[in-house]
Amino acid sequence: MNEPAGVVTIVARDGRADELADLLAKMAQVASLDDGAEIYAVHRSRQDTNSFFIYELYRDKDSVKRHQANTELRQLGARMADLTDSVTVTIGNLVAGDRAGRS
């Protein structure tokens, strides 16, 4: 255990949530290909459809560094500013539990 993990909470601007959902889906496609990205999952709130969260889990710190250096992902992420009211990032380490598909 002790793999780096993150939760990103994003609130879309009114009327921009579907556009943001499309962008986040593209980001997930790119990010999930990063070497060491174990999980990169985008979720949309059932209670507030303007709210999204991304759960990320990486094999190790080097995997996080590769993810953060991903040029294509950075370019996509730059487009979020016009679509969002807020973005909050929480970083931690996996302490307990498991993930689907783990071998």
pLDDT (tens, 9 = 90+) of the chain, 103 residues, equals: 679 999 999 999 999 999 999 999 999 999 999 999 999 999 999 999 999 999 999 999 999 999 999 999 999 999 999 999 999 999 999 888 866 555 5
Which residue has tokens 């579907």? 18
- The pTM (predicted TM-score) of the whole model is 0.89
Provide the residue ranges of all domains of the chain, joining segments of one domain with +. Answer: 13-93
Q: Which fold has domain 13-93?
A: Alpha-Beta Plaits (3.30.70)
Output the six-digit token pair for 28.
């997930």
Cβ–Cβ contacts within 10 Å for residue 90, how many? 10
Output the six-digit token pair for 15.
């009327």
Q: In angstroms, rounded to a whole number, what is the distance separating the alpha carbons of residues 24 and 77?
A: 8
Q: In angstroms, rounded to a whole number, what is the distance separating the alpha carbons of residues 31 and 15?
A: 26
Selection from 35, 25, 28, 21 nearest residue 69 by Cα = 35
